[in-house]
Chain A
Amino acid sequence: MKKRTGKPKQQQVGRWRFYVVFATVALVFFALISRAAYIQVIQPDMLRKQGDARTHRYLADNVHRGMIKDRNGLELAISAPVNTVWADPVTINRYHGLTLEREWRALADVLNDPVDRLLDKVNVAIEKEKRFIYLGRQITPALAEYIDQLDIPGVYLRPESKRYYPYGEVSAHLVGLTNIDDDGIEGIESLYNDELTGEAGKRHVLKDARGQVIKVLNVDEAHPAQDIYLSIDQGIQALAYQELKSAVQYHDADSGSVVMVDVNTGEILALVNSPSYNPNNRNTYSARNARNRAVTDAFEPGSSIKPLVVLSALEFGSVSPGDLIDTSPGWMQIGGRRVRDGRNNGKMDLISILQKSSNVGVTKLALSMPVEHFLDAYYNAGFGTDSGSSILGESSGVFYDRRRWSDFELATLSFGYGLSVTPIQLARFYATIAAGGIQRPLSIIKRDTAPEGDRVFAASSSRQVLRMLERVTEEGGTGTRAAVEGYRIAGKTGTSRKAVAGGYGHDYYSTFVGIAPASKPRIALVVVVNNPKGDEYGGGDVAAPVFSKIAQGALRILNESPDQEGSVTLANRQGGKPSA
């Protein structure tokens, strides 16, 4: 009965309270749906970005840097495996890695770093909450193994590679070197960095929290690095470097360069400079040592340019091979300036002009033809433009392009002053003569086929000049010391004074440029010695002997048969042996 009286009240009170509770529940669930809608479809971008930041990863498929090899496949630059030691300071801190004092001391020992400095570095990084610091780089595999066994939490190894140059300073200028990040910064390493580096592949993946790849989204294939085959022959290169270095030392010279070009293909067979540096030991690196002087340093070539004057005169027809030119009294006056020979040679033919290197003779030849033709010969010889080798830092020399030339200026051009050329340009010019007037762009990369080249001089006149140049190394010439037993050598000495402020001083460039074997030319070789300070300074005394030794070795290495009558048997026997 009590209940019955209570019932209507209950009904009245209960109904609205029920609706309030029902509405509250509905409201709460509506709020849940709204919230889900907001973070799922209305504004999920930030959440997705954060999610992606934790799961999307790019994995690199590293490729080893390519090798640099000489034309026969000898490795000039190789990559050796090394390790980089790095640390995650946050992880070190989290696992109290710094408490392992003994291990840290051992690590510091191996890294060759005072333990205090190492710990300071780590502590500073921990304070800044960094996630990556280098502890040591280019650690050898043996030491890396040791560090791995120390097992310090937060200290990791990363495999990298280090460049190693087996032939050290011999090819340093040419091959160049890489920086610590394995990027080429000099020489071929820099020039062909893209080919040598290849392209690391990239995989876009999803990773779970334990670092396992759960899905590969995208793959960029790796492009393997290429090996670069240089045109040089390391045997010749080593020989050239050795001879040049000893000559530079013997004559107390400032520097020296040797360039050897294959006449038939335009390939550079050797290119060395002294002083050099050891690319495996960066302490020997200095601006002075690192300069690739054979391509960067232009000098006034002096007499070694004279064959060009004879060649252009022959081309023009102002003289013929048998003509005599009167050079007496050993000097001539041009516009108030005087051109001198060492002595009065009287009437000379073209051969003896080159053989005795007569300034008066070439001046007369130069003035016997129109200015344009004369200057064109210089352009055609490749002076003032680069050699086509595209070696880093190549200079194109100095050859003024002006409209008015005085006779005296033309005269100085004819004996190699008033312009400057690099050794490699000079080598290219002689290679052009040797190839019968066909000029080819030089190449430091091995060629499969010889480029056709451009004819810049007539074949006949080129051959005539070549024959004349043979006489330079014969009895009575300036370059007798360049002779190679068993071979006919065509060449020309050059001794030029260095320009100093206000005129010319008493320092010399001593040069010898030659072609061998003269009967069937294979190589053109330039030897330049800068500022020999001994008693001898002429091209015939300083550069010619170096030329002789290098050419002798190179001809043997290249298996060129001797072409000088009378020494065939001996030379054959020598030629059969491999040279050191």
Chain B
Amino acid sequence: MSLVDQLTKPTWQEQMSELGNNVFGKGQDHALYDRTLVILCCILLATGLLMVASASIPVASKLYDNPLHFAIRHIVYLVLGFITFMAVIQIPMSWWKKYNPYLLMVAFGLLVAVLLVGKTVNGSTRWLALGPLNIQAAEPAKLFFFVYLAGYLVRRETEVKANIRGFIKPLCVMFALAMLLLLQPDLGTVVVMFATTIGLLFLAGAKLVQFFGLFIMGCCAVVVLILSAEYRVRRVTSFLDPWSDPFGSGYQLTQSLMAYGRGDWFGMGLGNSIQKLHFLPEAHTDFVFAVLAEETGFVGVFLIVGIVFWLVGKILTLGKRALVAEKQFEGYFAYAMAIWISFQAAVNIGASAGMLPTKGLTLPLVSYGGSSLLVMSVAIAAVMRIDYELRLESIQATRSSKPKKENKLTKSKQSKRKANKK
């Protein structure tokens, strides 16, 4: 090997970043949107529909005498989600940037409204009846808070990095939201918000001392919250040793673990889950992943976890690209979405696999649940929009000599989409 070769040979870091760029990067340069992102989402949505249909058949026939009750609803939500997606993707990021404080107001409004007129199911007031739809108020609240947080970090970037006040302020907002959420009560959402907030603050360059202080404080708060409610203590202890009471507090988890165990390498085959046959409660919502593990085995689990990770990695990388392109709001927004999706997915899967206490969080894009699906559609649409605007800018940059034509192209593209929708 000649000296020249050695010198020109890419270093380990260069190789890694090359690989990362290939896998999580923006993909085809000439395209106006990220096809891989769309495909990954579609795979997750399709898997979700399949698993929800499979897992909900027994409980649907028992409760509604219609085995496809939940499957049909899921399809309706998917259609609604697609419409939402198409609508939201038209909204330029500047709109989000401008109106995010109002969105926070909406979040507060929703959470207050749910406490006043919400529907109580299983002891928790989480649902707002909106005509035929039941909206889980916490889902949009989560999204709106993350938008606000991204906006805040842009507005007060130096403040966040420089002094504690900038660091504390968004936490106060979060604290207020958390209070409202805990009145429902909904500890799961609070934990997701908290995790996303500290993740975002970390990425925004908060001081490490503050960051760790907050982290430890947050953990203590969660512990206190858990100890304050007996049912949460039971959930945690049963998570630590579910087999001590497999017919009582450990029932759900042990049934879920049995589903995993039965899955083996390739699973029982689609539709062949036994645990969904009334053994495993919430088989189509919180525990849809256990049914997936049973029916498709470790291979299926590996693929779906891999796809979620791929998706999250792409969104994270998108955030980084946006920051590099000096689009800070978009960058933080993407970061927030990535942390949110990854954290919620990890908690959902981890809970069903017995790694974490059960929290009642859905698996994004996969689980049954209209609110979650619609809100995720908004989130993905926003992410796609960020990607689109970035691409547009880079094309504009390379073809800066003909900006007018470029604008035309954008417009024609948008009008084309509208035409398609009609």
Question: Scoring A residues 197 to 215 as 1 if CB is less than 8 Å from chain B, else 0, what string do you get?
Answer: 0000000001011101010
Q: Which residues of A contact B254 (CB under 8 A)?
A: 50
Residue contact B316 to A18, C-beta cutoff 8 Å? yes
| Closest A residue to B320 using CB positions | A18
- Cβ of A142 under 8 Å from chain B: no
Question: Scoring B residues 257 to 297 as 1 if CB is less than 8 Å from chain A, else 0, what string do you get?
Answer: 11111111100000000110111000000000000010001
- Cβ of A44 under 8 Å from chain B: yes
Residue contact A208 to B301, C-beta cutoff 8 Å? no
- Cα A94 to Cα B100 in complex, Å, equals 53
- Cβ of A14 under 8 Å from chain B: yes
Residue contact A32 to B313, C-beta cutoff 8 Å? no
Most buried by B among A25, A32, A206: A32
Residue contact A209 to B278, C-beta cutoff 8 Å? yes
- Cα A39 to Cα B354 in complex, Å, equals 10
- Cα A11 to Cα B58 in complex, Å, equals 53
Residue contact A29 to B264, C-beta cutoff 8 Å? no
Task: Give residues 308-341 of B contacting A (CB, 8 Å).
Answer: 308-309, 312-313, 316, 319-320, 323-324, 326, 328, 335, 338-339
Taking a contact as CB atoms closer than 8 A, the residue among B158, B161, B259, B305 that contacts A32 in the complex is B305
Q: Which residues of B contact A22 (CB under 8 A)?
A: 313, 316
Taking a contact as CB atoms closer than 8 A, the residue among B58, B279, B298, B309 that contacts A29 in the complex is B309
Residue contact B277 to A40, C-beta cutoff 8 Å? no
Residue contact A17 to B202, C-beta cutoff 8 Å? yes
Report the stretch among B75-83, B345-353, B368-376, B393-401 that lies at the interface: B345-353
Most buried by B among A2, A35, A39: A39
Residue contact B342 to A3, C-beta cutoff 8 Å? no
- Cβ of A106 under 8 Å from chain B: no
Given contacts A21-B316, A206-B274, A208-B279, is CB(A41)–CB(B298) below 8 Å? yes
- Cα A579 to Cα B308 in complex, Å, equals 93
Q: How far is the CB of A493 from chain B (nearest CB, A)?
A: 77
Q: Which residues of B contact A6 (CB under 8 A)?
A: 157-158
Task: Give residues 1-45 of A contacting B (CB, 8 Å).
Answer: 2-3, 6-7, 10-11, 13-14, 17-18, 20-22, 25-26, 28-29, 31-33, 35-37, 39-41, 44-45
- Cα A21 to Cα B297 in complex, Å, equals 29
Question: Scoring B residues 116 to 153 as 1 if CB is less than 8 Å from chain A, else 0, what string do you get?
Answer: 00000000000000000000000000000000000000
Given contacts A21-B339, A39-B354, A47-B261, is CB(A214)–CB(B277) below 8 Å? yes
Taking a contact as CB atoms closer than 8 A, the residue among A32, A40, A44, A51 that contacts B349 in the complex is A32
- Cα A210 to Cα B277 in complex, Å, equals 8
Taking a contact as CB atoms closer than 8 A, the residue among B158, B257, B277, B306 that contacts A39 in the complex is B257
Given contacts A14-B323, A36-B298, is CB(A47)–CB(B257) below 8 Å? yes
Q: Residues of A within 8 Å of B, CB-based: how many?
A: 41
- Cα A542 to Cα B140 in complex, Å, equals 108
- Cβ of B199 under 8 Å from chain A: yes
Taking a contact as CB atoms closer than 8 A, the residue among B258, B302, B338, B339 that contacts A47 in the complex is B258
Residue contact B264 to A21, C-beta cutoff 8 Å? no
Taking a contact as CB atoms closer than 8 A, the residue among B302, B316, B320, B339 that contacts A33 in the complex is B302
Given contacts A14-B323, A18-B320, A55-B274, is CB(A25)–CB(B312) below 8 Å? yes
- Cβ of A580 under 8 Å from chain B: no
Taking a contact as CB atoms closer than 8 A, the residue among B261, B263, B316 that contacts A25 in the complex is B316
- Cβ of B109 under 8 Å from chain A: no
- Cβ of B246 under 8 Å from chain A: yes
Residue contact A36 to B260, C-beta cutoff 8 Å? yes
Residue contact A29 to B346, C-beta cutoff 8 Å? yes
Given contacts A6-B157, A40-B298, is CB(A28)–CB(B260) below 8 Å? no
Residue contact A50 to B258, C-beta cutoff 8 Å? yes
Q: Which residues of A contact B257 (CB under 8 A)?
A: 39, 47
Q: How far is the CB of B101 from chain A (nearest CB, A)?
A: 20
- Cβ of A46 under 8 Å from chain B: yes
- Cα A18 to Cα B332 in complex, Å, equals 11
- Cβ of B72 under 8 Å from chain A: no
Residue contact B278 to A31, C-beta cutoff 8 Å? no
Q: Which residues of A contact B316 (CB under 8 A)?
A: 18, 21-22, 25
Q: Which residues of B contact A212 (CB under 8 A)?
A: 277
Residue contact A25 to B342, C-beta cutoff 8 Å? yes
Residue contact B305 to A40, C-beta cutoff 8 Å? no
- Cβ of B220 under 8 Å from chain A: no
- Cβ of B39 under 8 Å from chain A: no
Residue contact A29 to B301, C-beta cutoff 8 Å? no
- Cα A430 to Cα B75 in complex, Å, equals 92
Question: Scoring A residues 35 to 71 as 1 if CB is less than 8 Å from chain B, else 0, what string do you get?
Answer: 1110111001111101100110000000000000000
| Closest B residue to A47 using CB positions | B261
Task: Give residues 67-110 of A contacting B (CB, 8 Å).
Answer: none
- Cα A329 to Cα B324 in complex, Å, equals 145
Q: Which residues of A contact B302 (CB under 8 A)?
A: 33, 36-37
- Cβ of B409 under 8 Å from chain A: no
Residue contact A51 to B205, C-beta cutoff 8 Å? no
Q: How far is the CB of A66 from chain B (nearest CB, A)?
A: 39
- Cβ of B203 under 8 Å from chain A: yes
Most buried by A among B258, B323, B353: B258
Q: Which residues of A contact B260 (CB under 8 A)?
A: 36, 39-40, 44, 47
Residue contact A208 to B277, C-beta cutoff 8 Å? yes
- Cβ of B355 under 8 Å from chain A: yes
Q: How far is the CB of A34 from chain B (nearest CB, A)?
A: 10
Q: Which residues of A contact B323 (CB under 8 A)?
A: 10, 14
Residue contact B313 to A37, C-beta cutoff 8 Å? no
Q: Which residues of B contact A10 (CB under 8 A)?
A: 157, 205, 323, 328
Q: How far is the CB of B257 from chain A (nearest CB, A)?
A: 5
Q: How far is the CB of A20 from chain B (nearest CB, A)?
A: 8
Q: Which residues of A contact B297 (CB under 8 A)?
A: 40
Residue contact B350 to A35, C-beta cutoff 8 Å? yes
Taking a contact as CB atoms closer than 8 A, the residue among B161, B263, B278, B308 that contacts A208 in the complex is B278
| Closest A residue to B275 using CB positions | A51
Most buried by B among A7, A35, A37: A35
| Closest B residue to A28 using CB positions | B346
- Cα A17 to Cα B309 in complex, Å, equals 18
A-B contact pairs, 6 of them (CB 8 A): A13-B205, A26-B313, A36-B293, A39-B354, A47-B258, A209-B279
A-B contacts besides A32-B350, A48-B258, 5 pairs, CB < 8 Å:
A17-B202, A35-B353, A39-B354, A40-B297, A206-B274
Binding site for B on A (CB under 8 A): 2-3, 6-7, 10-11, 13-14, 17-18, 20-22, 25-26, 28-29, 31-33, 35-37, 39-41, 44-48, 50-51, 54-55, 206, 208-210, 212, 214
4 closest cross-chain pairs (CB), A and B:
A47-B261, A208-B277, A209-B278, A51-B258
Binding site for A on B (CB under 8 A): 58, 157-158, 161, 199, 202-203, 205, 243, 246, 254, 257-265, 274-275, 277-279, 293, 297-298, 301-302, 305-306, 308-309, 312-313, 316, 319-320, 323-324, 326, 328, 335, 338-339, 342, 346, 349-350, 353-355
